[in-house]
Amino acid sequence: MRVLGVDPGLTRCGVGVVEGVAGRPLTMLGVGVVRTSADADLGHRLVAVEQGLERWLDEYRPEFVAVERVFSQHNVRTVMGTAQASAVALLCASRRGIPVALHTPSEVKAAVTGSGRADKAQVGAMVTRLLRLDAPPKPADAADALALAICHIWRAPAQNRLQQAAALHASRTAPRTPAARTAASRASGPRTSTAPHPSPSPSPDPLKGRTA
């Protein structure tokens, strides 16, 4: 499984590509940051993020894209920029037909470090250890992008099983429509009785009782 992790942001959008499967050593294929100037027009900044992500998608051709889910903060301006960059990542992946998964920061921290309250230094240290790197990726946005990819690789099998179980349960509990009941009745064929039929009584012999 090859996953592109995206830590959305307008000034620095972290990107990282990880390949592997759950339960086995993972490999980092690439890591970096898509940067835009804070002095540029918003539209131009969004175009720059899109172009940067498109280059990563072209080069690494991931099977999945994992994006950090935007959550509420006190700084509304920061939230808006993060949400806009996140939307660009969703657009780029969906336009290519690549499945996108959203993971909250606490989910990523818990998956990588075992604690949903880990700080950025702890996340960077565990990413370095899990990917067997010489040093933590810089800046922290790049390490967070790798953590997102790792989180998705480890959580995907469990998520798939839950989705399959939910779909199976829904199909079994869904009420049948009249048309479905009629189709099922026709498929089962006409009902036949298994009770034995009474044997017909013998007809009287017309010659019995006559004398020559």
19-42: pLDDT as tens digits: 999 999 999 999 999 999 999 999
More confident residue, 157 or 170: 170
> How far is residue 110's CA from residue 89's CA, in Å, rounded to a whole number?
23
CB pairs under 8 A, 24+ apart, for 170-177? none
3-class DSSP string for 106-117: HHHHHHHHCCCC
> How far is residue 175's CA from residue 173's CA, in Å, rounded to a whole number?
6
3-class DSSP string for the chain: CEEEEEECCCCEEEEEEEECCCCCCCEEEEEEEEECCCCCCHHHHHHHHHHHHHHHHHHHCCCEEEEECCCCCCCHHHHHHHHHHHHHHHHHHHHCCCCEEEECHHHHHHHHHCCCCCCHHHHHHHHHHHCCCCCCCCCHHHHHHHHHHHHHHHHHHHHHHHHHHHHHHHHHHCCCCHHHHHHHHHHHCCCCCCCCCCCCCCCCCCCCCCCC
CB 126 within 8 A of CB 112: yes
Residue 184, Ramachandran bin (φ over 0: left; ψ between -120 and 50: alpha; else beta):
alpha
How much is the pLDDT for 32?
A: 98
Residue 184 pLDDT class (50, 70, 90 cuts): low
> How far is residue 123's CA from residue 15's CA, in Å, rounded to a whole number?
15
> pLDDT of 126-150, one tens digit each?
999 999 999 999 999 999 999 999 9
Catalytic positions: 7, 68, 141
pTM for the structure as a whole:
0.75
> pLDDT of 102-131, one tens digit each?
999 999 999 999 999 999 999 999 999 999
Residue 161 pLDDT class (50, 70, 90 cuts): low
